[in-house]
Amino acid sequence: MTGHYDPDISPFGAGLTFKCPNCGKGKLYSRYLKIIDNCEVCGVKLGELDIGDGPAVFVILVVGLTVVGLALMVEVKYSPPLWMHMALWAPLILGGSLSMLPLLKSMMFAAQYRTRAGEDVATEDDSS
């Protein structure tokens, strides 16, 4: 990862707007969840960074907690049949997961880029 590093760009601001964490201007995704290889504005290499499964774990926790809590409240108050639970919660789970995943992925990507996590930095002691 090379390029001009602007400390004034907030990793959360860049993540919320799906912009390059280096310059804050270029777009981050080329497709849904596909991070571009190089920023079109500053040219920094973004495709090398891998954030793994962290965003998916947070989506599972947030969406799961929300849907289970709402389903329990609806069950206690109204006692609807099982098919109604499926009709209510399946779209909410799918929509919530698919809409939150790009947001959390871009925010975690920007935070990881900002802290240079995962970058292999060699020191003089490592050369032996």
Name the pLDDT band for 49 (thresholds 50, 70, 90). Answer: confident
Q: Is residue 126 part of a domain?
A: no
- pLDDT for position 114: 86
Given a cut of 70, whether residue 120 has pLDDT beyond it is: no
Q: Is residue 63 part of a domain?
A: yes
- Over residues 53-99, the pLDDT tens digits come to 999 999 999 999 999 999 999 999 999 999 999 999 999 999 999 99
39: nearest Cα among 19, 11, 13, 58:
19
Tally of structural domains, the chain: 1
> What are the phi and psi torsion angles at 12 (to 5°)?
-75, -35
- Which residues span the domain enclosing 36? 11-118
The reported pTM is: 0.81
Q: Is residue 65 part of a domain?
A: yes
Partners of residue 34 on adjacent β-strands: 31
